[in-house]
Structure 1
Amino acid sequence: MSTPRPCALSIAGFDPSGGAGLLADCKTLEANGVYGLGVCTALTIQNDVTFERVSWVAPADIRDQIRLLLARFPIDFIKIGLFESLPQLLELTRWLKGQNPRLQLVWDPVLKATAGFEFHQRPDPELLRALCAEMALLTPNRPEVLRLWPAPTAEAAAEAVSAWCPVLLKGGHAAGAEATDLLFGSGAVQAFSAPRLPHGEKHGSGCVLSAAILAQLARGAALADACRVGKAYTATVLASNPSLLGYHFHNSLPHEN
């Protein structure tokens, strides 16, 4: 007899192509052994190469979506993606913690669409500090972390922000034969590497990584282990085909020794 899957929630935008946002998150959660629930924050008009516009969901409707899910399902792990307003995001995270103080929140800060559409400018430092204080993990790429926190390098920015919450600095925008993600937290840095693939660029790869990490946390993994397995899962999606939309797989997780 199989045991029930844990639940995890994605609060994110709807991407009709399924490469990013809610659809990508729920595919990833399912493939990682977690039942994925979704709350829509935005309806985007896009595909894997073009972003035209976005229609934002009202904050009251976002809360109502969440409220009914929390009333029905045991949700201790939530990923947050595309959101209209960072001050409103802070209000939401504090409301969420009021509903369930055990919540572990993973924030994948979507500041700019792959096709170039900008959602947020640099936040006020105090707002960023307050947001990070509510998070279990922040998962920016290199351009995003420099937009969040000005610094000479992305590593320096990630280290500074990690004073408030752990930061996984994604390495997809760096150069070199390997793509290396760096986990900053508690004064230490851990590296997770995978070969850089010749046709490995994928629309929404950052969403996949953060959702895979969330799934592992929901399954009981420690943060570093969740990042390692999430990185390995994302590598299978990047290697799945040469297009910009990756395929997800069941039973493809690396086995523990």
Structure 2
Amino acid sequence: MTASRTWPPVQHERPYALSIAGLDPSAGAGLLADVKVMEALEVYGLGVCTALTMQHDADFRAVEWVALDSIIAQCMPLADRYPVSVVKIGLVQSLPVLAELTDWLTQTWPGLPIIWDPILKASAGFDFHAMTSQTLLSTLLPRLSLLTPNVPEVQQLAATDEAVRAARTLSVYCPVYLKGGHAEPINGVTTDRLLKDGQEIARFPAPFLPDGEKHGSGCVLSSAIAAGLAKGQPLPEACATARRYMNQYLASSPGLLGFHQSLP
């Protein structure tokens, strides 16, 4: 018997968030990390795989891409059954694949918030691809509710070396959360920024931790923001909560793999 949307009944104690991302066997990044974050923040995390990676926290060896048709096929039964509140997209093969995927998502879930964490290079040092199509970006970005690049990613996406200027440029199309971890800390503080319509609307300072580097930290942050949006928080509040979660996560262990815990 084919499962229906209503029977057996689905849980409604927690909202649902969908991660569409790569599989990292070490669980420090990608799909597995995203679901850990969502669980810690009391959101039910669903997962769709876009890539099979051969890696651990310190070494990236290879990637096998999942075809777009297979990605959508994984999404379809979830769309039939669960009231998804937000989608977070991580590693994808290319901008054209991302454009087709977001087109399907916006048709299937009209008005659903979509976050894209633009993973262009693995933290272990592997370059995935060069995404440089400004025409495609101008078509794609308006479909997003948030873009979460780090400094090198925003420079590459906007084709400019000045990170804040690049973020301002991209924020004309959709809000941008610019992660400050790759920038030089000032007086022991790193600063993340939220930008919208070409203007900075919020800052999130955090103490710089000399031993705070973590594999998959960008995945963790974007998933924490997704969890906040799934719970109905306005975007600035969701970003502030996610930054608090990141502070806790980065300090959770001395190694490259951190531990996930609920916020106090």
Q: State the TM-score, normalizing by the size of structure 2.
A: 0.93
- Tell me how far apart the structure 2 counterparts of residues 40 and 150 of structure 1 sit (CA, whole Å): 29
The aligned counterpart of 2:192 is 181
Post-superposition Cα deviations, 1:56-101, rounded to whole Å, max 9, x if no partner, equal 1111111010001010100130000000121011011011111111
Kept in 2: contact 1:76–1:102 (CA 8 A): no
The aligned counterpart of 1:195 is 207
Q: Which runs of 4+ in 1 moved over 2 A?
A: none
Q: Which segments of 5 or more consecutive residues in structure 2 lack a partner in the other structure?
A: 1-10
Instruction: Read off the aligned partner of 1:236 and give its amino acid letter.
Output: Q
Q: How does 1:84-233 map to 2 (within 5 A)?
A: 84-176=93-185, 177-189=188-200, 190-233=202-245
Task: Report deviation, 1:188.
Answer: 2.9
Instruction: Read off the aligned partner of 2:62 and give its amino acid letter.
Output: R
Task: Report deviation, 1:3.
Answer: 6.1
1:43 partner SS: strand
Task: Report deviation, 1:40.
Answer: 0.3
Kept in 2: contact 1:77–1:104 (CA 8 A): yes
Root-mean-square deviation (CA), in Å? 1.2
Range with greater deviation from structure 2 (215-224 or 180-189) = 180-189
- Tell me how far apart the structure 2 counterparts of residues 68 and 195 of structure 1 sit (CA, whole Å): 43
- Tell me how far apart the structure 2 counterparts of residues 85 and 149 of structure 1 sit (CA, whole Å): 16
Q: State the TM-score, normalizing by the size of structure 1.
A: 0.95
The aligned counterpart of 2:32 is 23
Post-superposition Cα deviations, 1:191-220, rounded to whole Å, max 9, x if no partner, equal 101101121000000000000000000000
Kept in 1: contact 2:168–2:199 (CA 8 A): no
Instruction: Read off the aligned partner of 1:217 and give its amino acid letter.
Output: L
- Tell me how far apart the structure 2 counterparts of residues 233 and 14 of structure 1 sit (CA, whole Å): 22
Task: Report deviation, 1:122.
Answer: 3.3
Q: Which segments of 5 or more consecutive residues in structure 1 lack a partner in the other structure?
A: none
